[in-house]
């Protein structure tokens, strides 16, 4: 039981910022992808 508590205390503080970072990167990548798709479709339609 103590191992689980220690694991939780040690991992969560380090994992949380990493998860936030991944989320931010994923959101930016997604946004860029959507923008690229929009500009590409505009170029092709024009």
For 8-30, what is each residue's pLDDT tens digit? 787 777 888 888 999 999 999 99
CA distance 20 to 43: 34
Alpha carbon separation from 36 to 8, 11, 12, 28 (Å, rounded): 40, 37, 35, 12
Residue 9 counted as domain residue: no
Question: Which residues constitute the domain of residue 34?
Answer: 15-46
Residue 35 counted as domain residue: yes
Helical segments of 1-46, H only: 2-45
Residue 39 is predicted with a pLDDT of 87
Residue 20 is predicted with a pLDDT of 92
Cα end-to-end distance, the chain, whole Å: 64
Residue 5 counted as domain residue: no
- Total count of domains within the chain: 1
CA distance 30 to 13: 26
* Confidence band of 1 (pLDDT split at 50, 70, 90): low
């Amino acid at each position: 039981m103590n191992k689980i508590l220690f694991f939780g205390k040690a991992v969560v503080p380090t994992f949380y910022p990493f998860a936030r970072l991944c989320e931010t990167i994923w959101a930016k990548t997604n946004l860029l992808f959507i923008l690229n798709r929009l500009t590409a479709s505009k170029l092709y339609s024009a």
